[in-house]
């Protein structure tokens, strides 16, 4: 059976993860392709966030502002650096999942 594209299911990148709309598309994929696609999409989120964080940190007018939520003891830059560290950890976990999935696929062949 030929795999149908997102557009054939009436999906866009915005609706790809809407369960009610997208489940028929995802169900047509094999387990391995599904896992690899989802891991890839998950990895793109912190990568995109890190790019925004870099823009904020590089803007001197914003980066050095104190953050009231932290009693003005942390700057926007420091908070962004914490978020980036968490994003990087998430990416490391997803890289582990990716490698595990690749190895599992090799063993299944």
Q: Where are the domains of the chain?
A: 30-108
Query: Do the beta carbons of residue 18 and residue 12 sit within 8 Å?
Result: no
CB atoms within 10 A of CB 36: 17
Rounded distance between C-alpha atoms, residue 85 and residue 1, angstroms: 43
pLDDT at 66: 92
pLDDT at 3: 84
What are 37-57's pLDDT values in tens digits?
Answer: 999 999 999 999 999 999 999
Structure tokens at 56: 């904020």
pLDDT at 108: 76
Write b or e for each residue in 38-62: b if 16 or more Cβ atoms lie within 10 A of its Cβ, otherwise e.
bbeebbeebeebbeebeeebeeeee
CB atoms within 10 A of CB 77: 19
Structure tokens at 37: 């696609």
pLDDT at 23: 95
Intervals of the chain under pLDDT 70: 1
Secondary structure of residue 66 in the 3-state scheme: strand
């Amino acid at each position: 059976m030929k795999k149908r594209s997102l557009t054939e299911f009436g999906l866009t990148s915005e609706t790809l993860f809407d369960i009610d709309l997208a489940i028929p598309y995802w169900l047509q994929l094999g387990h391995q392709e599904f896992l690899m696609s989802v891991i890839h999409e998950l990895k793109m989120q912190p990568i995109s966030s890190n790019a925004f964080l870099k823009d904020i940190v590089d803007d001197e007018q914003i980066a050095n502002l104190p953050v009231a939520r932290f009693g003005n003891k942390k700057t926007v830059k420091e908070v962004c650096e914490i978020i980036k560290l968490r994003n990087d950890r998430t990416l490391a976990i997803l890289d582990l999942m990716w490698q595990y999935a690749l190895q599992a696929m090799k063993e299944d062949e």
